A and B are shown apart, each in its own frame.
Chain A
Amino acid sequence: MDLKYKHKNLSDYAYKKIKTLILNDILKNGEKIVQEKMAKKLGISKIPIIQALTVLQNERLIEYYPRRGFFVRELTYKEFIEILDIRRILESLAIKKIIENLDEQIKSKLLEFLDGFEFYNKTKKYKKYYDLDKKFHYYLIEASNNSYLININNTFNILLLCYTKGFKTDINISIEHHRKIIDAILNKETEKAINLIKEHTEHKKESHLIEANKNNSR
């Protein structure tokens, strides 16, 4: 029993570590993941590594080719668009729920985000701005209080993939969108807020397409 428990922890540890390496682009798209090296690097045996890789394969972050091994999987353009569509739907529902449940606590949290965005933009702290951006979108999902919404986002890494595999929106456009979305929520304008979220994700689709074309024509 004790052994089994430790075992589960080790594969969980490996899962988290490898996932972070992929999502921070330290393990690059298409790169082979050598199990022995990874085991050595993390100081654990091969079995929990393989377990973790299998889960990540299930999450479509990794591919397995028989006799060749595990590789970091590159998202196709179609998949990226699919993920953005799912994200838009999840965030639309989140916003609908937040407006339904809007209370003082949510209001002050949203205003806090807005202040943060303005501050980091003014002081040109762009890395901090984009960190807060991520936190804001996670907050919307979490505050929806719909367990399925939260679970779907976590299981399929929807937001995470948008942030790590997508391209950053221009900060001026981003802050304008955020300002409008927060205003619409505070004014309980559900339709308007949902349309703004749509605009926000459509914009990401376009910038992704432009970047993809650039890379292809290189």
Chain B
Amino acid sequence: MKQIKIIQDKQSNQAYQKIKLLILENRLKPGEKIIQYKLAQALNISLTPIIQALSILQNEKLIDYLPRKGFFVRIISDKEFYDLLEIRSFLESLAIEEISENINDSIKAQLLKFKKKFILLFEKNKLDKYFELDKKFHYYLIDASNNSYLININNTFNILLLCYTKGFINKINISIEHHKKIIDAILNKEKEKAISLMMEHLSIEHFNTI
């Protein structure tokens, strides 16, 4: 039987959010041991909610627990990363399909905003900010799909999140071209084109694994 996510209280929820962010931002690195009392100190949260949060993250497969050894940031194998990217590309294709079919002024405005920001950050060569925006863009597509199952699947399996902890497109000039073309195709309601561009964008050859 599947375990249920029960976030007991405010403190463990806070710990959960903070630790998840540390993993997502790669400040806790894959394979790194998580020392509970140090983390408790660093986050200024007591030990029990830290352990609760770690257990939830273990359930989400972001963390491994090895008996008598402790908690570690889980290392995602290459095969698993490949599986993840594949499922991600199909899920995001569905998102694009739904967005192209239901596009409205608020989505249009949001997409144009993303495009403008991507170009700006690219021209100013602000890599960190660019890749932060990249994440936001892909999350936005899933959320804007308005398919509750799609959103739930992404959250339950941390599909996007795990992809970002393991690999990324480090060639910003490729990434920006893809993003611009995808956004244009959606805005022009070229559904099929937008889908194949996204498939290309998320194909393994563009990714560098960490």
B83 interface contact, C-beta 8 A: yes
A148 interface contact, C-beta 8 A: yes
A38 to B157, CA, bound (A): 32
A156 interface contact, C-beta 8 A: yes
Check B152–A156 contact: CB distance below 8 A.
Answer: yes
Give the number of chain B interface residues (Cβ < 8 Å): 23
Chain A residue, CB-CB nearest to B152 = A156
A104 interface contact, C-beta 8 A: no
Check A54–B4 contact: CB distance below 8 A.
Answer: yes
127-171 of chain B: CB within 8 A of chain A: 147-150, 152-153, 156-157, 159
Given A89-B91, A90-B90, A148-B83, A15:B1 Cβ within 8 A: yes
A111 to B109, CA, bound (A): 51
Check B153–A86 contact: CB distance below 8 A.
Answer: yes
Q: Chain B contacts of A148 at CB under 8 A?
A: 83-84, 87, 157, 159
185-207 of chain A: CB within 8 A of chain B: none
Q: Chain A contact residues (Cβ within 8 angstroms of B): what range? A: 20 to 34
| Interface residue SS majority, chain B | helix
Q: Chain B contacts of A11 at CB under 8 A?
A: 1
Q: Fill in one digit per residue for A80-95: 1 if any B CB lies within 8 Å of its CB, else 0.
A: 0011011001101100
Given A12-B1, A54-B4, A156-B152, A92:B90 Cβ within 8 A: yes
A90 to B83, CA, bound (A): 12
134-175 of chain A: CB within 8 A of chain B: 146-149, 151-152, 155-156, 158
B94 interface contact, C-beta 8 A: yes
Q: Chain B contacts of A85 at CB under 8 A?
A: 94, 97-98, 147, 149-150
B86 interface contact, C-beta 8 A: yes
A156 to B150, CA, bound (A): 10
Check A8–B1 contact: CB distance below 8 A.
Answer: yes
A20 interface contact, C-beta 8 A: no
Given A85-B98, A86-B94, A149:B153 Cβ within 8 A: no
Which of B86, B147, B157 meets A82, CB within 8 Å?
B147
CB distance from A205 to the nearest CB of B (A): 13
Check B4–A82 contact: CB distance below 8 A.
Answer: no
Chain A residue, CB-CB nearest to B151 = A82
Given A86-B94, A146-B87, A149-B87, A55:B157 Cβ within 8 A: no
A52 to B94, CA, bound (A): 32
What are 26 contact pairs spanning A and B, CB under 8 A? Answer: A12-B1, A52-B1, A55-B2, A55-B4, A79-B149, A82-B147, A82-B149, A82-B150, A85-B94, A85-B97, A85-B149, A86-B147, A86-B149, A86-B150, A89-B90, A89-B91, A89-B93, A93-B86, A146-B83, A146-B87, A147-B83, A148-B87, A149-B83, A152-B87, A155-B2, A155-B156
B80 interface contact, C-beta 8 A: yes
Interface centre among B83, B97, B156 (most CB of A within 10 A): B83
CB distance from A2 to the nearest CB of B (A): 18
